[in-house]
Amino acid sequence: MSKFVLSLVVFASIATLLVHSLKDYYWRDYDGETPDDAVLGGHDKNNKSIYIGQAYVQNEGLVVVQIDQDQKSVYAEMEGIQHLDTNIKILCGPPYLFYWMSSNITKLHTDLKEKQLVVGGHEDGAKRYFVGRIKCPDGVCIGKVLEQGGDGKSIFYGVDRNGEQLKADSYDVLVNDNSFVPNK
């Protein structure tokens, strides 16, 4: 085999490997029923499960939202606070692919160079949203972290169960840990 062909083959194999390893999670349609393979986002103060959702807001984009167990509707922070019960998806995949990592307004920029963060959505015509989590009076709250907002800063935005906006400079982000190889 010529060097050229060989490097093509090597390149193709690496590319295939990357495509497979980087994205072993998926978003399922959510209608109030939590699928068995939903990724647990944490527990609230009553130890009820919280999941990671994604809602489509027309003309605005795809926003990361919190799904509370057995609740069909969600709050979304997208040009103000929206209460939605359609066009919602829930993050699913094997739990070993994910972990939470502490980050903040300035650190996220560096984290992005080293880690594969779970992309939770995007603002139309703008940057990506990552999946964030903070401690809040409800227990934990899931929300969105904009890749680079004003001044290149990455801030967490979410909504608590009273429909109040949450904003934080320090938060956890959800990492897609593609280095993990499960025992077969």
With CB under 6 A as the contact rule, the residue among 23, 72, 107, 161 that binds ligand NAG is 107
E runs forming strands in the chain: 26-29, 40-43, 49-57, 61-68, 74-77, 81-84, 88-92, 98-104, 119-123, 128-136, 139-146, 156-159, 165-168, 170-176
CB of 110 to ligand NAG, least distance (A): 9
Name the one residue in this structure whose structure tokens are 């320090």: 170
Instruction: Candidates 25-33, 102-110, 129-137, 153-161: pick the segment binding ligand NAG (CB under 6 A).
Output: 102-110
Would you say 81 and 73 are in contact if contact means Cβ atoms under 8 Å apart?
no
Q: Tell me, what DSSP letter sits at residue 152?
A: G
The least CB distance from residue 170 to ligand NAG, in Å, is: 5
Q: Which of 79, 52, 75 is nearest to 160 (CA)?
A: 75
Distance CA 13, CA 169 (A): 40
With binding defined as CB under 6 A, does residue 173 bind ligand NAG?
Answer: no
- Applying CB under 6 A, the site for ligand NAG has a residue count of 7
Q: Are 129 and 122 in contact (CB under 8 A)?
A: yes
Among the listed residues 29, 70, 164, 169, the single contact to ligand NAG using CB under 6 A: 169
**104 near ligand NAG, rule: CB under 6 A:** yes
Is residue 46 part of the contact set for ligand NAG (CB under 6 A)? Answer: no
Residue of 82, 116, 148, 170 interacting with ligand NAG (CB under 6 A): 170
Q: Which of 47, 59, 179, 183 binds ligand NAG (CB under 6 A)?
A: 47
Binding residues for ligand NAG, per CB under 6 A? 47, 104-107, 169-170
